[in-house]
Amino acid sequence: MSKINIHDVAYVAYEATDLDLMERFLLDFGMTRSIRTEDALYMRGAGGNHHCHVTRLGTENKFLGGAFTVETREELEKAAKIPGAVGPEEITEPGGGWRVTLTTPNKHKIWVEWGVAKVPEMPVRRSYRMNFASEHLRHNSAVRQRPEATPVLRIGHFVLWVPDAVPEIDWFMEHFAMAPADYICAHDGEPGEETVVGTFLRIDKGKEYVEHHCILINQSIHFGCHHSSFEVLDLDAVTAGHDHLVSKGWNLDAGVGRHYLGSLIYDYWLDPFGNRIEHYTDTDMINDEYEPVRFVGTADETTQWGMAPPPNFFE
Protein backbone atom coordinates (compact mmCIF):
# COMPACT_ATOMS: atom_id res chain seq x y z
CA MET A 1 0.00 0.00 0.00
CA SER A 2 1.32 3.45 -0.90
CA LYS A 3 1.82 5.92 1.93
CA ILE A 4 -0.80 8.50 2.88
CA ASN A 5 0.05 11.98 1.60
CA ILE A 6 -0.73 14.33 4.46
CA HIS A 7 -1.77 17.86 3.58
CA ASP A 8 -1.38 19.43 7.03
CA VAL A 9 -2.06 19.11 10.74
CA ALA A 10 -5.77 19.73 11.38
CA TYR A 11 -6.31 19.99 15.14
CA VAL A 12 -5.69 18.53 18.57
CA ALA A 13 -8.50 17.38 20.87
CA TYR A 14 -8.69 17.36 24.66
CA GLU A 15 -11.20 16.45 27.33
CA ALA A 16 -11.71 19.03 30.08
CA THR A 17 -14.10 19.56 32.96
CA ASP A 18 -14.89 23.24 32.25
CA LEU A 19 -15.50 24.59 28.74
CA ASP A 20 -15.96 28.18 29.96
CA LEU A 21 -12.51 28.22 31.52
CA MET A 22 -10.87 26.63 28.48
CA GLU A 23 -12.53 29.13 26.14
CA ARG A 24 -11.43 32.07 28.25
CA PHE A 25 -7.83 30.90 28.09
CA LEU A 26 -7.88 30.14 24.35
CA LEU A 27 -9.36 33.56 23.58
CA ASP A 28 -6.48 35.16 25.48
CA PHE A 29 -4.12 32.81 23.63
CA GLY A 30 -5.36 34.23 20.32
CA MET A 31 -7.95 31.77 19.03
CA THR A 32 -11.55 32.52 18.05
CA ARG A 33 -14.65 30.47 18.75
CA SER A 34 -15.77 28.59 15.65
CA ILE A 35 -18.71 26.75 17.22
CA ARG A 36 -19.67 25.73 20.74
CA THR A 37 -22.19 23.03 21.58
CA GLU A 38 -23.43 21.78 24.95
CA ASP A 39 -20.56 19.34 25.22
CA ALA A 40 -17.78 20.59 22.93
CA LEU A 41 -15.79 23.72 22.08
CA TYR A 42 -14.33 24.23 18.60
CA MET A 43 -11.73 27.01 18.35
CA ARG A 44 -10.18 28.30 15.15
CA GLY A 45 -7.25 30.38 14.00
CA ALA A 46 -7.24 33.20 11.47
CA GLY A 47 -6.74 30.76 8.58
CA GLY A 48 -9.41 28.92 6.65
CA ASN A 49 -9.61 25.74 8.74
CA HIS A 50 -12.92 25.25 10.54
CA HIS A 51 -11.14 24.53 13.83
CA CYS A 52 -7.63 23.87 15.10
CA HIS A 53 -8.39 23.02 18.74
CA VAL A 54 -11.25 20.92 20.15
CA THR A 55 -12.26 20.52 23.79
CA ARG A 56 -14.86 17.96 24.80
CA LEU A 57 -16.64 18.30 28.14
CA GLY A 58 -15.97 15.34 30.41
CA THR A 59 -15.07 14.14 33.86
CA GLU A 60 -11.30 14.09 33.22
CA ASN A 61 -8.66 16.47 31.91
CA LYS A 62 -6.68 14.64 29.23
CA PHE A 63 -5.42 14.54 25.66
CA LEU A 64 -7.71 12.70 23.24
CA GLY A 65 -5.77 12.72 19.97
CA GLY A 66 -4.56 14.63 16.95
CA ALA A 67 -5.83 14.99 13.40
CA PHE A 68 -4.34 15.39 9.93
CA THR A 69 -6.05 16.44 6.72
CA VAL A 70 -5.72 14.87 3.28
CA GLU A 71 -6.72 16.47 0.00
CA THR A 72 -8.52 13.59 -1.72
CA ARG A 73 -10.90 10.76 -0.93
CA GLU A 74 -8.27 8.39 -2.35
CA GLU A 75 -5.84 9.36 0.41
CA LEU A 76 -8.58 8.83 3.00
CA GLU A 77 -9.21 5.34 1.60
CA LYS A 78 -5.51 4.54 2.06
CA ALA A 79 -5.89 5.31 5.77
CA ALA A 80 -8.89 2.97 5.96
CA LYS A 81 -6.63 0.08 4.91
CA ILE A 82 -4.29 0.44 7.88
CA PRO A 83 -4.76 -2.46 10.34
CA GLY A 84 -7.22 -1.51 13.06
CA ALA A 85 -8.62 1.49 11.15
CA VAL A 86 -12.23 2.52 11.68
CA GLY A 87 -13.99 4.20 8.76
CA PRO A 88 -14.27 6.10 6.57
CA GLU A 89 -17.16 7.51 8.59
CA GLU A 90 -19.13 10.67 7.95
CA ILE A 91 -18.29 13.29 10.57
CA THR A 92 -21.42 14.37 12.42
CA GLU A 93 -19.64 17.19 14.30
CA PRO A 94 -19.45 20.84 13.20
CA GLY A 95 -17.48 21.17 9.97
CA GLY A 96 -18.62 17.82 8.60
CA GLY A 97 -16.48 15.82 6.20
CA TRP A 98 -15.21 12.25 6.48
CA ARG A 99 -12.88 10.61 8.96
CA VAL A 100 -10.76 7.50 9.49
CA THR A 101 -9.79 6.76 13.10
CA LEU A 102 -6.41 5.11 13.70
CA THR A 103 -4.77 3.77 16.84
CA THR A 104 -0.98 3.94 17.10
CA PRO A 105 1.17 1.17 18.65
CA ASN A 106 1.27 3.21 21.88
CA LYS A 107 -2.54 3.60 21.83
CA HIS A 108 -2.79 7.22 20.73
CA LYS A 109 -5.75 8.21 18.55
CA ILE A 110 -4.95 9.74 15.18
CA TRP A 111 -7.71 10.98 12.88
CA VAL A 112 -7.28 11.39 9.15
CA GLU A 113 -9.92 13.71 7.74
CA TRP A 114 -11.11 14.88 4.34
CA GLY A 115 -13.80 17.26 3.16
CA VAL A 116 -14.15 19.29 6.37
CA ALA A 117 -15.76 22.66 5.66
CA LYS A 118 -13.58 25.73 5.26
CA VAL A 119 -14.36 29.09 6.84
CA PRO A 120 -13.52 32.63 5.63
CA GLU A 121 -10.03 33.74 6.63
CA MET A 122 -9.86 36.48 9.24
CA PRO A 123 -7.98 39.74 8.60
CA VAL A 124 -4.62 40.09 10.34
CA ARG A 125 -1.86 42.65 9.99
CA ARG A 126 1.07 42.01 7.68
CA SER A 127 4.18 40.53 9.27
CA TYR A 128 6.60 43.26 10.26
CA ARG A 129 9.71 43.34 8.15
CA MET A 130 12.93 43.69 10.11
CA ASN A 131 15.99 45.84 9.49
CA PHE A 132 19.26 43.97 9.92
CA ALA A 133 22.81 45.29 9.77
CA SER A 134 23.34 43.43 6.50
CA GLU A 135 19.90 43.99 4.97
CA HIS A 136 17.30 46.71 5.51
CA LEU A 137 13.81 45.42 4.67
CA ARG A 138 11.49 47.96 6.34
CA HIS A 139 11.33 51.37 4.64
CA ASN A 140 9.24 54.36 5.73
CA SER A 141 7.23 52.06 7.95
CA ALA A 142 7.27 51.92 11.75
CA VAL A 143 6.56 48.97 14.04
CA ARG A 144 3.56 49.62 16.26
CA GLN A 145 2.75 46.52 18.30
CA ARG A 146 0.89 46.65 21.61
CA PRO A 147 0.41 43.77 24.04
CA GLU A 148 -2.75 41.93 22.94
CA ALA A 149 -4.14 38.49 22.27
CA THR A 150 -1.95 37.66 19.30
CA PRO A 151 -3.89 36.04 16.44
CA VAL A 152 -3.21 32.33 16.08
CA LEU A 153 -2.92 31.51 12.38
CA ARG A 154 -2.99 27.71 12.37
CA ILE A 155 -1.81 24.63 14.22
CA GLY A 156 1.69 23.68 13.14
CA HIS A 157 2.54 20.53 15.09
CA PHE A 158 1.96 18.46 18.18
CA VAL A 159 4.19 16.21 20.27
CA LEU A 160 3.29 12.74 21.52
CA TRP A 161 4.61 11.29 24.77
CA VAL A 162 4.97 7.53 24.38
CA PRO A 163 6.45 4.77 26.57
CA ASP A 164 8.01 3.07 23.53
CA ALA A 165 9.17 5.45 20.79
CA VAL A 166 10.62 3.10 18.15
CA PRO A 167 7.40 1.27 17.12
CA GLU A 168 5.52 4.58 17.18
CA ILE A 169 8.01 6.26 14.86
CA ASP A 170 8.12 3.22 12.58
CA TRP A 171 4.31 3.17 12.40
CA PHE A 172 4.08 6.80 11.30
CA MET A 173 6.83 6.39 8.71
CA GLU A 174 5.34 3.16 7.38
CA HIS A 175 1.87 4.56 6.84
CA PHE A 176 2.40 8.28 6.17
CA ALA A 177 4.62 10.15 3.73
CA MET A 178 6.81 11.52 6.51
CA ALA A 179 10.56 11.77 6.94
CA PRO A 180 12.85 12.41 9.92
CA ALA A 181 13.94 16.01 10.44
CA ASP A 182 16.10 15.74 13.58
CA TYR A 183 16.67 13.27 16.40
CA ILE A 184 16.83 13.67 20.18
CA CYS A 185 19.30 11.13 21.58
CA ALA A 186 20.23 9.82 25.01
CA HIS A 187 23.78 10.19 26.33
CA ASP A 188 24.59 6.46 26.35
CA GLY A 189 26.60 4.86 23.55
CA GLU A 190 29.49 6.00 21.39
CA PRO A 191 29.23 9.20 19.31
CA GLY A 192 26.93 8.47 16.38
CA GLU A 193 25.47 5.44 18.16
CA GLU A 194 23.41 7.19 20.83
CA THR A 195 19.95 5.86 21.59
CA VAL A 196 17.24 7.78 19.77
CA VAL A 197 14.49 8.79 22.21
CA GLY A 198 12.73 11.37 20.07
CA THR A 199 12.24 11.95 16.37
CA PHE A 200 10.94 15.06 14.64
CA LEU A 201 8.93 14.02 11.60
CA ARG A 202 8.15 16.35 8.69
CA ILE A 203 5.70 15.96 5.87
CA ASP A 204 7.68 14.48 2.98
CA LYS A 205 7.05 16.44 -0.22
CA GLY A 206 10.38 15.75 -1.90
CA LYS A 207 12.02 18.95 -3.17
CA GLU A 208 9.19 21.14 -1.88
CA TYR A 209 10.09 23.00 1.30
CA VAL A 210 7.98 22.18 4.35
CA GLU A 211 8.05 23.13 8.03
CA HIS A 212 10.71 21.40 10.12
CA HIS A 213 8.19 19.05 11.73
CA CYS A 214 4.49 18.29 11.91
CA ILE A 215 4.86 15.86 14.79
CA LEU A 216 7.49 14.83 17.34
CA ILE A 217 7.46 11.37 18.90
CA ASN A 218 9.16 11.52 22.28
CA GLN A 219 9.84 8.56 24.58
CA SER A 220 8.72 9.47 28.07
CA ILE A 221 7.64 8.37 31.50
CA HIS A 222 4.40 10.22 30.67
CA PHE A 223 1.63 9.44 28.20
CA GLY A 224 -0.35 12.00 26.24
CA CYS A 225 0.56 15.21 24.48
CA HIS A 226 3.76 17.01 25.45
CA HIS A 227 2.50 20.15 23.71
CA SER A 228 0.47 21.45 20.81
CA SER A 229 1.90 24.33 18.82
CA PHE A 230 0.27 27.22 16.97
CA GLU A 231 1.87 29.57 14.46
CA VAL A 232 1.67 33.34 14.84
CA LEU A 233 2.79 36.14 12.54
CA ASP A 234 6.27 37.08 13.72
CA LEU A 235 8.53 37.84 16.68
CA ASP A 236 6.49 40.88 17.69
CA ALA A 237 3.35 38.74 17.74
CA VAL A 238 5.03 36.20 20.02
CA THR A 239 6.24 38.82 22.50
CA ALA A 240 3.00 40.82 22.42
CA GLY A 241 1.03 37.66 23.09
CA HIS A 242 3.44 36.79 25.89
CA ASP A 243 2.87 40.11 27.65
CA HIS A 244 -0.89 39.83 27.19
CA LEU A 245 -0.99 36.35 28.73
CA VAL A 246 1.17 37.54 31.63
CA SER A 247 -1.27 40.42 32.24
CA LYS A 248 -4.17 37.96 32.35
CA GLY A 249 -2.46 35.85 35.01
CA TRP A 250 -2.03 32.64 33.01
CA ASN A 251 0.78 30.20 33.75
CA LEU A 252 4.01 30.61 31.78
CA ASP A 253 5.95 27.41 31.14
CA ALA A 254 9.01 28.58 29.17
CA GLY A 255 9.74 31.45 26.80
CA VAL A 256 10.30 33.57 24.94
CA GLY A 257 13.28 31.76 23.39
CA ARG A 258 14.72 30.23 20.23
CA HIS A 259 15.10 26.47 19.88
CA TYR A 260 18.18 24.75 18.54
CA LEU A 261 16.22 22.02 16.74
CA GLY A 262 14.00 23.62 14.11
CA SER A 263 15.26 27.12 15.06
CA LEU A 264 11.73 28.29 15.85
CA ILE A 265 11.05 31.12 18.28
CA TYR A 266 8.81 29.71 21.01
CA ASP A 267 6.66 30.70 23.95
CA TYR A 268 5.17 27.87 26.04
CA TRP A 269 2.18 28.22 28.34
CA LEU A 270 0.03 25.90 30.43
CA ASP A 271 -3.70 25.96 29.85
CA PRO A 272 -5.97 25.85 32.93
CA PHE A 273 -5.88 22.04 32.90
CA GLY A 274 -2.11 21.65 32.75
CA ASN A 275 -1.74 21.07 29.00
CA ARG A 276 1.34 22.70 27.47
CA ILE A 277 0.57 24.95 24.48
CA GLU A 278 2.94 26.97 22.33
CA HIS A 279 3.07 30.07 20.19
CA TYR A 280 5.80 29.82 17.56
CA THR A 281 7.22 31.64 14.56
CA ASP A 282 10.24 31.50 12.23
CA THR A 283 10.70 27.75 11.98
CA ASP A 284 13.15 26.11 9.57
CA MET A 285 11.83 25.23 6.12
CA ILE A 286 13.48 22.05 4.83
CA ASN A 287 13.23 19.51 2.01
CA ASP A 288 14.77 16.15 1.10
CA GLU A 289 18.24 17.69 0.87
CA TYR A 290 18.25 18.44 4.60
CA GLU A 291 20.58 16.31 6.75
CA PRO A 292 19.02 15.39 10.13
CA VAL A 293 20.88 16.35 13.29
CA ARG A 294 21.42 13.92 16.16
CA PHE A 295 21.07 16.12 19.23
CA VAL A 296 22.49 14.90 22.53
CA GLY A 297 21.95 17.21 25.47
CA THR A 298 19.66 18.45 28.20
CA ALA A 299 16.39 20.29 27.76
CA ASP A 300 17.93 23.69 28.48
CA GLU A 301 20.56 23.04 25.81
CA THR A 302 17.80 22.97 23.18
CA THR A 303 17.49 26.74 23.70
CA GLN A 304 19.85 29.08 21.84
CA TRP A 305 18.67 32.18 23.69
CA GLY A 306 15.85 33.20 26.00
CA MET A 307 14.07 31.44 28.83
CA ALA A 308 15.01 27.78 28.62
CA PRO A 309 12.53 25.00 29.42
CA PRO A 310 12.87 23.22 32.79
CA PRO A 311 15.11 20.14 33.14
CA ASN A 312 12.11 17.80 33.12
CA PHE A 313 10.86 19.17 29.79
CA PHE A 314 11.72 15.98 27.88
CA GLU A 315 11.17 13.42 30.66
Concatenated DSSP letters of 267-282 = EEEE-TTS-EEEEEE-
Q: What is the pLDDT of residue 192?
A: 63
* 162: nearest Cα among 225, 100, 245, 220: 220
Q: What pTM value is reported for the model?
A: 0.96
What pLDDT sits at residue 290? 98
Contact 227, 280 (CB under 8 A): no
Residue 47 is predicted with a pLDDT of 98
CATH, range 8-118+152-314: 3.10.180.10
Say how many C-beta atoms besides its own lie within 10 A of residue 62's C-beta. 16
Closest CA to 295 of 209, 218, 204: 218
pLDDT of residue 300: 84
Round to whole Å and give the CA distance between 240 and 242. 5
Walk along the chain (315 residues) in steps of 10 and give the mean pLDDT of each run: 94 98 98 98 98 98 98 98 98 98 98 98 96 95 94 98 96 98 83 83 98 97 97 98 98 97 98 98 98 90 92 80
